[in-house]
C-alpha cells in the first residue's frame, strides 16, 4: 500500500481545515444484543496489523510540495479507538441518533489514526449500537465495506473464531528508512514532486513520439483533448448556485434521520420501472426533496445533487477510488415510470463523462493553491449543490459482530456544505438509509424524511 495520500485524499485533508467541508463518514449499526467486547477487540488487534491505515497517522509534506504521507503512530493505543458508553435508562433510537449526530460532527484528533468505534449500550429491548466513524482519507464507502470484513462474522458463533494476533498493536512499528527529521521529510517531498514532474514529462515525450510515428493521429488526439477538457469543465466548473429557494443557509448543526426499504422489493420495482436500484434510490430522494418544497409552499422543478462515481478497479480494503460528480435532476414526479426514466437519463449522462478518470489530476492542481484559496474555491463549488447522495453496496445477508446480529446498519455520509446527505447501504435484506441533515438549512427535517418515505412508497407501489 502506498505511503502517500492520493491527490484527491490530500485535497479532502486540506479542505477540512474548514469544518463545513469535513469529509468524515460513519455508520449507525444496531445490534440485537451486547457483543462480546473482548472478542471484538481481539479481531481488531489483528485488523490493525493487516490494514496499515488503521494504525497510521497523517504527516504533512514539507511546504506542501507533495501530498501528506501515512506513518505508523508511535503512540498507537487501541483503547483510544474502541470505547463503550451507555444511554441513560431505556434509550430510544431517537436518543441514539441524537448522540450519533454529535459523535459524527466531532472532529478527529489529527495527530492520531483517523477512526473511532463506540459501542452504545442501554437501547430498549436489550439492544446495543455501534457507532463507526472514519475519515474519508482512509477509504471510501466501497473500501470501507471491504475493510469491515476484518471484524464481521457470517454466524453468531463461527467455528474457529479465536484469532491469534501476530503482535500487540500498541507496540509501535519502526518508521520506514529515511523518514526521520525535517530535512529527510523535505528531501522526500521534493523527490516526490520531481518524480511526478518526470512522469508527466515522460508521458509528453511518448505522446510526441506517437505523433512522429503516426502523424495521422494528431487530429484525433486534439479532439480527445478538447472533449476531455469540455467534460472536465462540466464536472468541475458549475457556475450557477444551488436551485433550492429554501435551503439557502448553512450551519454545523446536524440531525440524523433514518429509513429503510426491503431490498428484494426495491429490486423488483427498479426492474419493473426499467432502471437499477441506484436509479430508484436517487429518484426517491429527488421526488421527496421536490415534495418537501411543495409542502413548504415553494415548489421547484430541478435540484442539483452531488454523488460519488466509483472508478475502483481493484478489490482493496481501504483507499479511495471515486470521482465526485454533480447532476441536475427533476423533482416533480407525476408518472413514476417516466420520472425514473428521466432521472436515469441524467445519471447515465453524468456517469459517462470522460473526465471522471482525470478528476484526481484536477485535485492535484487545486492542492498547489494556498489553503485559503483552495477552501474558497471548494466553498464556491459546494454552493452549487442542493443535496448529496451516495449508494454503497453491502452484504444482502445476515452479518454478526462478536456474537451480536446486525439488525440495521445506517450509513451517515458527509454533508460537506450541502443541505443534507442521503446515503444507502444494502444490509441484511434491506436498503438502510441514513439522512445527515443540516438542520438550519432544512427547517423541518422530520417533514423531509416523511416526504422521502412517501416518494419511495409511491415508487414501490408500481413494482
Helix axes 445-462, 336-351, angle to 10 degrees: 100
- Owner of C-alpha cell 520531481: 194
Q: What pLDDT, on the 0 to 100 scale, is given for residue 171?
A: 36
CB of 369 closer than 8 Å to CB of 17? no
Q: For residue 140, what is its C-alpha cell?
A: 471510501
Q: CA nearest 81: which of 120, 31, 41?
A: 41
Q: What pLDDT, on the 0 to 100 scale, is given for residue 161?
A: 57
**Residues with Cβ within 8 Å of residue 165, at least 6 apart in sequence:** 42, 45, 46, 49
3-state secondary structure the chain: CCCECCHHHHHHHHHCCCHHHCCCEEEEEEECCCCCHHHHHHHHHHHHHHCHHHHEEEECCHHHCCCCEEEECCCCCHHHHEEEEEEEEEECHHHHHHHHHHHHHCCCCCCCCCEEEEEEEEEHHHEEEEEEEECCCCECHHHHHHHHHHCCECCCCCCCCCCCCCCCCCCCCCCCCCCCCHHHHHHHHHHHHHHHHHHHHHHHHHHHHHHHHCHHHHHHHHHHHHHHHHHHHHHHCCCCCCCCCCCCCCCCCEEEEEEEEEHHHHHHHHHHCCCCHHHHHHHHHHHHHHHHHHHCCCCCCEEEEEEEEECCCCCCCCECCEEEEEEEEECCCCCHHHHHHHHHHHHHHHHCCHHHHHHHHHHHHHHCCCHHHHHHHHHHHHCCCCEEEEEECCCCCCCEECCEEEEEEEEECCCCCCCEEEEEEEECCEEEEEEEEECCCCCCHHHHHHHHHHHHHHHHHHC
Output the tens digit of pLDDT for each of the chain's 463 residues: 458 888 888 888 888 888 888 889 999 999 999 999 999 999 999 999 888 889 999 998 876 667 889 999 999 999 999 999 999 888 999 999 999 999 999 999 999 999 999 999 999 999 999 999 999 888 776 667 777 888 899 999 987 654 443 333 333 333 333 344 444 444 444 444 444 444 433 333 343 344 344 545 445 545 555 555 555 555 555 678 999 999 999 999 999 999 999 999 999 999 999 999 999 999 999 999 999 999 999 999 999 999 887 655 555 555 555 567 899 999 999 999 999 999 999 999 887 654 555 555 566 667 777 888 888 888 888 899 999 999 988 888 899 999 999 999 999 999 999 999 999 999 889 999 999 999 999 999 999 999 999 999 999 998 6
Q: Exposure of 436 by Cβ count < 10 A (0-12 exposed, 13-18 middle, 19+ buried)? A: buried
Give the count of beta carbons closer than 10 Å to the beta carbon of residue 140: 24
CB of 117 closer than 8 Å to CB of 63? no
Q: Rounded to whole angstroms, how far apart are CA atoms 43 and 163? A: 6
CB of 430 closer than 8 Å to CB of 400? no
pTM for the whole thing?
A: 0.81
Per-residue pLDDT reduced to its tens digit, 295-304? 999 999 999 9
Q: For residue 71, what is its C-alpha cell?
A: 506513518
CB of 407 closer than 8 Å to CB of 437? no
Q: Rounded to whole angstroms, how far apart are CA atoms 40 and 132? A: 14
Q: Exposure of 391 by Cβ count < 10 A (0-12 exposed, 13-18 middle, 19+ buried)? A: buried
CB of 349 closer than 8 Å to CB of 308? no
Q: For residue 35, what is its C-alpha cell?
A: 457483543
Amino acid at each position: 500500500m502506498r505511503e502517500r495520500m492520493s491527490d484527491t485524499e490530500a485535497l479532502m485533508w486540506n479542505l477540512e481545515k474548514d469544518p463545513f467541508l469535513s469529509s468524515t463518514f460513519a455508520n449507525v449499526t444496531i445490534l440485537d444484543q451486547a457483543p462480546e467486547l473482548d472478542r471484538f477487540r481481539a479481531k481488531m488487534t489483528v485488523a490493525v496489523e493487516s490494514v496499515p491505515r488503521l494504525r497510521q497517522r497523517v504527516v504533512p509534506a514539507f511546504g506542501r510540495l507533495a501530498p501528506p504521507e501515512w506513518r505508523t503512530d508511535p503512540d498507537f493505543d487501541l483503547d483510544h479507538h474502541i470505547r463503550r458508553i451507555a444511554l441513560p435508562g431505556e434509550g430510544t433510537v431517537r436518543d441514539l441518533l441524537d448522540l450519533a449526530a454529535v459523535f459524527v460532527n466531532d472532529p478527529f484528533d489529527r495527530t492520531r489514526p483517523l477512526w473511532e468505534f463506540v459501542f452504545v449500550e442501554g437501547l430498549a429491548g436489550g439492544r446495543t449500537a455501534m457507532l463507526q466513524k472514519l475519515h474519508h482519507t482512509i477509504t471510501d464507502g466501497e473500501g470501507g465495506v471491504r475493510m469491515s470484513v476484518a471484524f464481521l462474522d457470517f454466524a453468531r458463533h463461527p467455528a474457529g473464531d479465536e484469532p491469534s494476533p501476530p503482535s500487540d498493536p500498541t507496540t509501535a512499528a519502526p518508521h520506514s528508512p529515511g523518514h526521520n527529521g525535517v530535512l529527510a521529510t523535505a528531501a522526500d517531498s521534493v523527490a516526490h514532486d520531481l518524480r511526478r514532474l518526470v512522469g508527466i514529462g515522460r508521458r509528453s515525450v511518448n505522446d510526441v513520439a506517437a505523433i512522429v510515428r503516426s502523424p495521422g493521429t494528431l487530429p484525433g488526439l486534439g479532439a480527445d483533448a478538447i472533449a476531455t477538457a469540455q467534460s472536465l469543465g462540466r464536472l468541475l466548473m458549475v457556475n450557477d448556485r444551488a436551485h433550492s429557494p429554501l435551503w439557502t443557509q448553512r450551519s454545523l448543526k446536524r440531525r440524523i434521520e433514518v429509513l429503510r426499504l426491503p431490498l428484494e422489493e426495491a429490486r423488483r420495482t427498479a426492474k419493473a420501472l426499467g432502471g437499477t436500484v441506484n436509479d430508484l434510490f436517487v429518484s426517491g430522494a429527488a421526488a421527496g426533496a421536490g415534495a418537501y418544497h411543495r409542502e413548504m409552499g415553494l415548489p421547484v422543478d430541478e435540484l442539483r445533487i452531488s454523488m460519488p462515481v466509483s472508478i475502483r478497479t481493484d478489490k482493496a480494503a481501504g483507499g479511495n477510488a471515486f470521482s465526485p460528480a454533480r447532476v441536475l435532476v427533476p423533482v416533480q414526479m407525476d408518472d413514476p415510470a417516466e420520472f425514473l426514466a428521466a432521472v436515469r437519463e441524467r445519471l447515465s449522462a453524468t456517469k459517462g463523462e470522460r473526465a471522471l478518470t482525470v478528476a484526481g489530476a484536477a485535485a492535484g492542481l487545486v492542492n498547489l493553491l494556498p489553503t485559503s484559496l483552495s477552501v474558497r474555491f471548494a466553498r464556491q463549488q459546494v454552493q452549487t449543490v442542493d443535496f448529496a447522495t451516495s449508494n454503497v453496496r453491502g452484504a444482502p445477508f445476515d452479518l454478526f459482530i462478536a456474537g451480536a446480529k446486525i439488525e440495521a446498519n445506517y450509513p451517515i455520509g458527509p454533508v460537506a456544505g450541502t443541505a443534507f446527505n442521503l446515503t444507502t447501504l444494502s444490509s441484511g435484506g434491506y436498503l438502510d438509509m441514513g439522512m445527515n441533515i443540516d438542520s438550519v438549512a432544512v427547517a423541518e427535517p422530520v417533514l423531509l424524511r416523511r416526504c422521502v418515505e412517501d416518494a419511495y412508497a409511491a415508487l414501490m407501489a408500481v413494482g
